Amino acid sequence: MLDERDRKILDLMQANAEMAVNDIADAVALSASACSRRIARLREEGYIARSVAVLDRRKVGLPTTVFVIVRTGKHEAGWLDEFHAAVSTIPEIVEVHRLTGNFDYIIKLVLPNVEHYDVIYRQLVRRVELFDMSAYISMETVKLATGVPTKYAE
């Protein structure tokens, strides 16, 4: 069961996973050793899945975001395995979500430019049969959160 200190530790680590334990401890009114033990427990219990570096996409040459809506006429296990394998092997595909409603999947791509979408499109349709794909270019990122709210954690 998480308490408010645990939630605050998680919030701080989501904002900056490299924050010194002493600074986290000060922020949550704990000793450094007690804070370190809590962080270790949060990792053991799976609340902290991993720590990553968030890159500046412009500096690494991937400023363009494209969302692709996919509809498929196939839903059998073989097709699903092919689709999962196909999207897993294309590094520019950074997120894939299965949807309810009129569409089956939404794919988030990060690209060097809009023209590069055709390269990814060709890679995907060579690997798996799709009924329909529609691409939408992101004009502006209004909100980009790397963390999630911790108030729901138990």
Token pair listed for 69: 């809506």
Give the domain ranges of the chain: 4-44, 64-137
Q: Which amino acid is it at 47?
A: Y
Does CATH number 3.30.70.920 belong to domain 64-137? yes
As a whole number of angstroms, the distance between CA 11 and CA 7 comes to: 6
As a whole number of angstroms, the distance between CA 106 and CA 70 comes to: 6
Residue range 15-36: average pLDDT?
97
pTM (2 decimals)?
0.89
Residue pLDDT, tens place only, 74-128? 878 899 999 999 999 999 999 999 999 999 999 999 999 999 999 999 999 999 9
- Mean confidence (pLDDT) of the chain: 96
Q: What is the CATH number of domain 4-44?
A: 1.10.10.10
